[in-house]
Amino acid sequence: GNSVTQMEGPVTLSEEAFLTINCTYTATGYPSLFWYVQYPGEGLQLLLKATKADDKGSNKGFEATYRKETTSFHLEKGSVQVSDSAVYFCALRASNSGYALNFGKGTSLLVTP
């Protein structure tokens, strides 16, 4: 079946550190891949997306590249800020699953000053 595996959290970083949150997936066909972010007390928001191999999604300084050869979609940011503290969810929509998204369990990020 379709599934997403994210690195376990929580992740604690100092401000301006480099961030990587790993995400790998299993899916049939050619899924679309997403990163969602949930800030404290808020709903899930789409952070970035990629719909085909080698696409790079980017937003707010975050980037993720759709790597079909390694079935990965790792999230990166060169210099994190305290305001980036949130829970990050990797998700996919497989071609055989209609419009339902498969989510990872989420990775909590805490950035300290």
Partner 1 sequence: GAGVSQSPSNKVTEKGKDVELRCDPISGHTALYWYRQRLGQGLEFLIYFQGNSAPDKSGLPSDRFSAERTGESVSTLTIQRTQQEDSAVYLCASSTGTEVYGYTFGSGTRLTVV
Give the interface with partner 1 as residue ranges (CB under 8 A).
4, 32, 34, 36, 42-46, 49, 51, 89, 91, 93, 98-106
> Smallest gap, in angstroms, from Cβ of residue 10 to partner 1?
11
Instruction: Return the number of the residue (27 or 104) whose C-beta is nearest partner 1.
Output: 104
Note whether 6 and 102 are within 8 A (CB).
no
Beta bridge partners of 14: 112
Please identify, using beta-carbon distances, which residue of 42 and 69 lies nearer to partner 1.
42
Phi/psi at 32 (nearest 5 deg)?
A: -90, 145
Report the nearest approach of partner 1 to the CB of residue 64 (Å).
13
Q: Which is nearer to partner 1, 16 or 68 (CB)?
A: 68
Give the nearest distance from C-beta 44 to partner 1 in angstroms: 4
Residue ranges of E strands in the chain:
3-6, 11-14, 19-21, 23-26, 32-38, 44-50, 56-59, 62-65, 75-77, 86-93, 102-103, 107-112
